[in-house]
Amino acid sequence: MIYPYIKSLHLIFVVTWFAGLFYIPRLFIYHIEAWQKPSPEREILTDQLKLMTKRLWYIITWPSAILCTLFAVWMLILMPSWLQQPWMHVKLGFVLLLFAYHFKCHQIFKQLQRNEVKYTSKFMRIWNEGATLILFAIVFLVILKSAFNWIYGVIGIVVLGILLMLGIKLYKRIRDKNPNA
């Protein structure tokens, strides 16, 4: 009886966690690009971006990750047979990859909060697609479960990655021609 509520809360926090993971690299890009601005514009922008990233990270992204995980564990306690399903093992592998992505974002967040710019905006644009690839993999695994054909799945993720990279290159060309785009 309680399971649908737990599942609903899990999905809500999956959505908000991914929202944070989709937006934080975009703020990193703006922060990195603000460092190229002349003073005082640089200081005004970086101070504002630090505040925005701090609020996003600690008010939305981290709490969502924690609550998503707690409700996922609760679901697994209610449905222990899922832990014997091969698709669940693969899904949990992608969830571990998502946590690695999250922790790397946390490291970048902390660096930028200390005014340490170690990455280019181009790198961040590519990094920004990491959460997208993980989301696609997890959703397809959960929906298709054992019907999932691994060969087509791997090919699909690779094709998606290629399309995302082509999109980044196209955007860069458009942006280089028109800096206001």
Place of tokens 């993971």: 21
Contact 109, 57 (CB under 8 A): yes
Contacts of 126 (CB under 8 A, 6+ apart): 165, 168
What gap in Å lies between CA 147 and CA 170, rounded to an integer?
35
Tell me: is residue 91 an annotated ligand-binding position.
yes
How large is the C-alpha radius of gyration of the chain?
19
Tell me: is residue 102 an annotated ligand-binding position.
no
Which residue type is seen at 41?
A: E
What gap in Å lies between CA 160 and CA 109, rounded to an integer?
27
Q: At what angle do helices 130-144 and 86-113 cross, to 10 degrees?
A: 160
Length of the chain in terms of residues written: 181
Binding residues for heme: 10, 91
Binding residues: 10, 91
